Structure 1
């Protein structure tokens, strides 16, 4: 005798036979799921949307020189912003700022298990994605809708700050180089200027062009007067002394031709060097002031399209779905259970076979 076959058609009588048990199980599942759903806290989601920029386009040095801000959504800029946002230092900063240890009721910080629990809870509630419009959506979920919005906005600010810090250290080094260059040129200029002043005093040269014309004029007039005196018997000795004073260093004159000739080359070199150092010093000071101003400037590296606002609608739980799902699942499991139980009874050795 072959074993009786089992089909879904026979479920109707089976369910009818066990209807009170199935109904009880379904009712119990509905009551429990309703209680659980009502006890579950509402979770809210706040989203901030921003577009990262190329750090080169927001470099203050470039902007001071006439560059323009440019909106860009390069893949490397997007990846960099997402990497910063998902990094552990950023997470720990937000956890500490908003005291999430207490908020998540995890206990005091310092224990590895507690720290890992809070960090995992934080990262599970955080989502940073690159959307199809080449922008970044930063989403944070929490039972407190105001806290969720504040955390999301703070994370955007931290990402912006860290993004700026990537080039800030190099800019500090550049500023130090500008300062060292300016201080070196300032010292060199002052030393060269003092050497020029000393050379002017030593050689008695205070203006190359005008002084040269004056000396030539005086020499010509004195020599002409000497020739006339020699011819007419005038004061020849006095004119000779005057001529020697104009031509010889030991003649007693501060301004004389011998010192002028000896000092001309030195004065030309010192004057050229001082003028060169002066122009370079002015340029170095301008560059240093520009770099210092740029370092103090804080230009945002992110374009914020939308700030995070407190949500007006919860994201979860979907209570009706929990109740319906629990009821349907309980009903299905109950039917499977009684069907297997009936099948076992029919196929059990010694069980009565239908005629």
Structure 2
């Protein structure tokens, strides 16, 4: 039975194992090479990092404000909702877009003479491209997890880094305000045109209304209607009374001849007065509907004109106001500590990479040292 088990075990395939002790033995045999390579890497990288320029990073943090702050309807309490103080995602995206615009970058390049500062030839065909690329390598704008915007500038001069960061932030605020003010300008121009058009319309209505009043003699519809009606009624009553008296005197004979003449004259005068009053009433009634129509149109146009003038004043007041497009949380202070390079980490990283690749190279060399590479190259 034991012989059969030995036979079976001899027939099983054997799995090659990597002898860790042999690997360690090999590495210790090459330890001088490994140590020398690591020392050379450390010394070389230390010499190189000492030549790297030191950069300082200035940071400023701000929130985007809501455009509601510059909306006259909300600002003056005409809207149903209170204006929001902080901007939403769209407002943050707008500020980020402004922060990454070439207009801002070119402004900073010209303001701080960055062509000379970065030692870039301004007159070269690609000078603008190179200076923008160099600046963007030192410039960073990000949205924080609390929906604030952080602007960072790196430079070898810490004071210049802080100045550029503050200037960039102020320019972003200015560009954000200009976008809002351009919208306000268009609204103001629209209101100015509306006011001018309505003033012309109001002048036409006023002239037409004056012509109708003069034509029909209507100046106060309610007062004139009451007075003319009352006067016509009174005159008619007087006329009827005078006629009745005249008939009575005529029936009594010739002895009342003088009274009959007096009442005939009175009746004739009242008839003439009543006739003229009727003509006035007819003319008044003929023009009343037109006068009322144009009076109502004039009043509505005047009310609309007053509302537009008030809105125009509100927009002009808002346009003249300095409403910021951002709320500054952290000013760009002069950085006290460098942001890069991290010399220790660079040296340690170079030593570690050298150590790793040296180990790999030694193991590969030992594993394939007995290979005839010439024959392999010749395909044999």
**Other-structure match for 1:304:** 328
Q: Which has the larger radius of gyration?
A: 2
Aligned length: 333
Q: 2:249: which partner in 1? A: none
1:220-269 superposed Cα distances (whole Å, 9 cap, x missing partner)? 444444452771331644663564355339x9xxx933432333223222
Which runs of no fewer than 5 residues in structure 1 stay unpaired?
A: 350-355
Partner residue, 1:105: 119
Two-structure CA RMSD over aligned residues (Å): 4.0
- Do 1:61 and 1:294's aligned partners in 2 also have CA atoms closer than 8 Å? no
- Hey, what does 2:101 align to over in structure 1? 87
8 A Cα contact 1:179 1:288, kept in partner: yes
For residues 330 and 178 of structure 2, what CA distance do their matches in structure 1 show? 23
Q: Is the 8 A contact 1:192 1:270 kept in 2?
A: yes
SS at match of 1:315: strand
Structure 1 residue 247 corresponds to structure 2 residue 275? yes
CA contact (8 A) 2:221 2:288 kept: yes
TM-score, normalised via structure 1 length = 0.75
TM-score (norm 2): 0.71
Listed one character per residue, the Cα deviations across residues 282-305 of structure 1 (whole Å, up to 9, x for unaligned) are 222222222332333342232322
Pair 1:147 & 2:160 matched: yes
Q: Which residue number in structure 2 is paired with residue 41 of structure 1?
A: 53
Q: CA deviation at 1:195?
A: 2.1
- In structure 1, how many angstroms separate the alpha carbons of the residues matched to 2:137 and 2:148? 21
Q: Secondary structure at the match of 1:127?
A: strand
Does residue 202 (structure 1) correspond to residue 249 (structure 2)? The answer is: no
For the residue of structure 1 that corresponds to 2:339, the secondary structure is coil
Report the counterpart of residue 290 of structure 1 in structure 2: 314
Which whole-Å deviations, capped at 9, do the CAs of 1:133-176 have from their partners, x for residues lacking one? Answer: 22222211111212212222233333334444444444333322
How many angstroms does 1:48 deviate by? 1.4
Aligned to 1:353: none
Give the one of 247, 257, 266 matched to 2:290.
266
Cα distance in 2, alignment partners of residues 324 and 241 from structure 1 = 127
> Which whole-Å CA distance do the structure 1 matches of 2:296 and 2:99 have between them?
56
Could you list the runs of 5+ residues in structure 2 that have no partner in the other structure? Answer: 1-20, 247-258, 373-380
* Aligned partners of 1:196 and 1:267 also within 8 Å: yes
1:19-98 equivalences under 5 Å are: 22=36, 26=39, 30=43, 36-56=48-68, 58-64=70-76, 65=78, 67-72=81-86, 74-98=88-112
Paired residue secondary structure (1:234): helix
